[in-house]
Structure 1
Amino acid sequence: MSIFERFLSVWVALAMVGGVLIGLAAPGLVQLVASAEVSSVNLVVAVLIWAMVYPMMVGVDFGSVAGVARQPRGLIVTLTVNWLIKPFTMAFLAVLFFDHVFAPWIEPDDAAQYTAGLILLGAAPCTAMVFVWSQLTKGDATYTLVQVSVNDLIMVVAFAPIVAFLLGVTDIQVPWQTLVLATVLYVVLPLIAGLITRHKLGSQEAVDAFSARVKPWSIMGLIATVVILFGLQGQTILAKPLVIVMIAVPILIQSYGIFALAYGAAFALKVPHRIAAPCAMIGTSNFFELAVAVAISLFGLNSGAALATVVGVLVEVPVMLSLVAFANRTRAQFPEPAPSVSENWNKERL
């Protein structure tokens, strides 16, 4: 691990501060970036996330996807945590804190808005950034792709009913254009580019060497994304610091709790680390584009629900980096490193 990667949390912290300062010093520039948006998907951020995801996609051996069925435990953990546990624990924590713990300091209407935003976050597991976290934990690229793809398919049919049930709203309008556009930008296009690159490189040795060369660009994309996200929300952070902290509390408890549950279940089931780490990361992080888009469509751009989803974005990167560090430190506690899905599948074909 290079010095740059070893101190990644330091660079991200500096990027957070730098983003807020840029937001204050150059609001025109921030507005220009914010205006580059289609269906609630910011195109500048999309390009940076694409750059982060692409290096891992180069490592995907599409011919070995069928081999995931031979190692189902990681996928079972992911689906159980994401769809049977996470949305409901997030709703419970939101109600606990905003209807009870923080009730003396927050108006009831605002509390209801923050609760709604957190529920939207909890019902939308990660689509794009999990590829970055998987890469940082040396995750199995092929298995991670399948986990994300299955989650996306379930999200199409399960997101609206779960949100409607938890919010008590029956007319949830899922922004399908946002869902499809984000999936194409963050999964389909990087995957196609990665497969083309892999084909042109030929050997696995050439693929590994190429991935090593482009990995720094992935990290730089992450830092640039943090700068932009905090730049876009700099005014809000400084104007409502106490509210930001209050919203962050249940998100932090949820994030670390869900990770502990999924990571612990994977450990108990003897899932290899290269599968266990990404399967825990998917449920811990969120599909924030979808959550923000639905919050805006239901409650308005300046609503407390929209603010809560944005706080989820701000909290996610530092939280996930801390979990990446923990996962890497605990790698030796898992079963002996098993061959990746691609390696197993290729051996069996031979």
Structure 2
Amino acid sequence: MSATAEAAPTTETGGKLSTLDKYLPVWIGLAMLAGLGLGRWVPGIEAALESVEIGGVSLPIAAGLLLMMYPVLAKVRYDRLDTVTGDKRLLISSLAVNWLVGPAVMFALAWAFLADLPEFRTGLIIVGLARCIAMVIIWNDLACGDREAATVLIALNSVFQVVAFGFLGWFYLSALPDWLGLEGAALDISGLDIAVNTAIFLGIPLAAGYLTRKLGERAKGREWYEGSFLPKIGPFALYGLLFTIVVLFALQGEAITTNPGDVARIALPLLAYFAIMWAGTFLLGRAIGLPYDRTATLAFTAAGNNFELAIAVAIATFGVTSGQALAGVVGPLIEVPVLVALVYVSLWARKFFREPAVPGAAASTRSDA
């Protein structure tokens, strides 16, 4: 697509959008409402959804996340990843924004907005520490970001998540508040737990996507794989997204609908966080000369968070009914609609980029109508 493309998502071939794609914000809104309704008015649904877990996350949510990520990772051209790993501007910027700036911004906002609510404040800080490795793949594809770059940055975040999450949890929840004379908290989470979570939610779909492309191209060739197979599995990424949203909100439907004031208090710093992280990183990408597709990827990987890890850590450490767990659940409640809106903002801002896209950049998860 040209830099003057309309600010609306399109198919990879430029075809007419399907009904699912065209009204995606509507379907997301309905999925959120459906989940809230189920959680509020269907007795026992929360216990049923939580009865089986994988990596500390409800099995239905895990299934939805895996379904959501697999089609996108099956589209990645793994033979082009070396063009990403050689881009030092992108890699260094991503690491700095994700692991230095992001947690610090969330810490500051949590204390600024929730100084009198320690449970919610702690929950938000945990969200800020959990850098995105899952749902960001959807936002990146919808915004016509560089799919190969997103894969590399997600893998990089995964490694740093395993290594740095425990240390950063101690620093931002205990050490730094103590140094500043503020009320601290404790976070007991092992590197092994985080490694298991990462292996499940990134390792499984990544391995499946890689093997699908490798075996599919070997059996029938790249033309068949990209022209016939990928369009068929593409919509399942969005089906997985919608299913995940329904289940996620069903788990906390009663808590959200019976405590709207608490949700509003948690939502304010989250709104500020997503706006600051996305806009600041998008401007950074433009300033350092990245093309649009990699700038979009940099911005969405910085703004998104690993809500499944944050929720799992909050539940394991503080309990399923804790304020920390509620703050973790409100994270995607705000993140989903805000980042969908930022997809459209990103596509509109594409006209300010004159550089040609990086060869092999992905366009979208969308299939032709």
Equivalent residue in structure 2 for 1:70, among 70, 73, 86: 86
RMSD: 2.1
Deviation at 1:311, TM superposition (A): 1.0
Match of 1:221 in 2: 240
Q: Displaced runs of 4+ in structure 1, greater than 6 A?
A: none
Alignment coverage as a number of residue pairs: 333
Q: Percent identity?
A: 35
- Conservation of the 8 A alpha-carbon contact between 1:67 and 1:342: no
Select the residue among 44, 66, 79 that pairs with 1:28.
44
2:29 aligned with 1:18, yes or no?
A: no
Say if 2:246 is the partner of 1:205. Answer: no
Which amino acid letter does the alignment assign opposite residue 146 of structure 2? D
Describe the shift of the 1:127–1:171 C-alpha distance in structure 2 as closer, same or farther (beyond 3 A). same
Once the two structures are TM-superposed, the CA of residue 286 in structure 1 deviates from its matched residue by 1.0
Counterpart of 1:323 in structure 2 is 342
For 2:70 and 2:207, the matched residues in 1 are separated by: 9
**Superposition pairs of residues 16-95 of structure 1, within 5 angstroms:** 16-95=32-111
Q: 1:175 to 1:290 in 2, by over 3 A?
A: farther
Kindly provide the amino acid, as one letter, of the partner of residue 344 in structure 2.
A
Which piece of structure 1 moves more, 173-182 or 282-291? Answer: 173-182
- In structure 2, the partner of 1:247 is 266
Compute the displacement of 1:140 (Å). Answer: 2.2
Among residues 119, 133, 141, which one is paired with 2:139 in the alignment?
133
Identify the structure with the greater helix proportion: 1
My pick for the range that moved more, 160-169 or 225-234, is 160-169
- Aligned partners of 1:218 and 1:287: how far apart in 2? 17
User: SS of the counterpart of 2:44?
Assistant: helix
Larger mean Cα displacement after TM superposition, 333-342 or 223-232: 333-342
Counterpart in 2 of 1:260? 279
Aligned to 2:181: none
1:151 aligns with 2:157: yes
Instruction: String of CA shifts for 1:192-216, please: whole Å, max 9, x gaps.
Output: 2212221233243323222222121
Distance 1:296 1:186 in 2: 18
Report how far residue 245 of structure 1 moved: 0.7
Q: Deviations over 1:246-305 (max 9, x none)?
A: 101001100111000111101112212222112211121111222223223333332222
User: For residues 167 and 222 of structure 1, what CA distance do their matches in structure 2 show?
Assistant: 31
The one-letter code matched in structure 2 to 1:319 is V
Measure the CA separation in 1 of the matches of 2:303 and 2:150.
Answer: 14
Q: Which amino acid aligns with 2:36?
A: V
Q: What is residue 191 of structure 1 aligned with on the other side? A: 206
Distance in 2 (alpha carbons) for counterparts of 1:247 and 1:145? 30
Looking at structure 2, the residues matched to 66 and 189 of structure 1 have their Cα atoms a distance apart, in angstroms, of 22
Which one is further off, 197-206 or 49-58? 197-206
| Cα distance in 1 between the residues matched to 2:85 and 2:20 | 37
Contact 1:271 1:335 in 2 (8 A): no
2-side partners of 1:90 and 1:32: how far apart? 33
Q: Following superposition of structure 1 onto structure 2, how do residues 251-290 of structure 1 map, counting pairs within 5 Å? A: 251-290=270-309
Q: Supply the AA of the counterpart residue of 1:226.
A: I
Deviations 1:131-160 (A, max 9, x none): 111221222222111101111111222222
| Aligned-residue offset at 1:177 | 4.6
Q: Which residue of 2 aligns with 1:346?
A: none
